[in-house]
Amino acid sequence: MSGYKDWKYCDESLPDIFWGLSYDDGPGQYTPGILDWLSSSLSLGTYTTFFVIGSRIQDNPDILRRAYDDGHQIAIHTWSHPHLTTLTNEQIVAEIVYGAKAIYQVTGVVPKYFRPPYGDVDDRVRAIVKALGLNMVIWAVDSTDSAAGATAASIEAVVQSWMKQDIRRAISLQHDLFQVAAQVAPQTLKTLIDNGRAAKPIYECLNKPKSDIYAISPLQAFLTSGQDGLGGNPASSDRPTSGSATPTSSSSSSSSSSSSTTSSPTSNLTSSSGTSAAVSTSTKPITTLPTSAAGRKTTSILAAFALF
């Protein structure tokens, strides 16, 4: 889409040693281990970006709060990790707004950075994300740490291959949801540092000031205005309910989550293709929003942004 960029590499004006470090799909039980290591002297003061799933924040609010308090960048990764191009406009808005709302409820801030699950975007998705005032962040290289059968050795081999190819200014995809991914995170960062890369959170990789992370955007203004109609926590009648997925890992290296399937926040609505959209989950079931939350309330959201 003209005038709007999917960021996959760091800004070209920066030194080529810059590297965008990011973790997807938390917060989860293995996130604290990564936070512990990043807060140690061994990480050499490295900060990262966590693209978080709204529904997982419900089970792990303290973990999200710690990541934020530790100074790491928090960014939006939807409510339940669907393929956005399979959803209706209303469903896409619901995914992003409810994901952002979950972050806001815990941290008091609304991120300006967004990563679409699976990197699945088209111009329709871009138009919505742009209208919400968000920066779209994809990735240039995938660690494959969410792939079925991934091991510490296989992940490290992928990272070493980046160095052998002399890839620079890349934004890399990693995860804090899986045990093996968390275990290999220190070695991955060590490999980057040993090869002269300067691992940075995404906003630094894009040459933006720290004030840009949670800067005013249409989405931020909407959620903080008290006029969003979503309630403080959301209202009990719209409170999410548990799905029934079982944990597995993804077999696709281009995925930024695992491949178990449950329903999306708008599962009672149909996608633009006329079918319900599948959602990926892992160590815990993704939760769902009822039709009243996904349908009725997004009508007012769409009107507020005059998107369509």
Q: What is the DSSP letter of 269?
A: S
d(CA 125, CA 114): 12
Give, in order, the Cα–Cα distances in Å from 115 to each of 212, 242, 304.
Answer: 16, 24, 23
Residue 146 and residue 175 in contact, taking contact as beta carbons nearer than 8 Å: yes
Q: Of residues 175, 176, 228, 238, which has the active-site annotation?
A: 175
How many whole angstroms separate alpha carbon 190 and alpha carbon 195? 8
The answer to whether residues 88 and 56 touch, using CB atoms and an 8 Å cutoff, is no
- The residues, any chain, with a CB within 8 Å of residue 18's CB and separated by 6 or more, are 10, 11, 168, 169, 197, 198, 200, 204, 205
81: annotated active-site residue: no
DSSP run (H or E) holding 220: helix 218-224
Q: Are 191 and 160 in contact (CB under 8 A)?
A: yes
**Matching residue, tokens 């293995």:** 30
Alpha-carbon gap, residue 197 to 266, rounded angstroms: 41
φ and ψ at residue 261, rounded to 5 degrees: -120, 135
Say whether 175 is catalytic.
yes
* 111: its two tokens: 């991120």
Q: Measured in Å, how far apart are the chain's first and last C-alpha atoms?
A: 17
DSSP 275: S
The residues that are catalytic are 24, 175
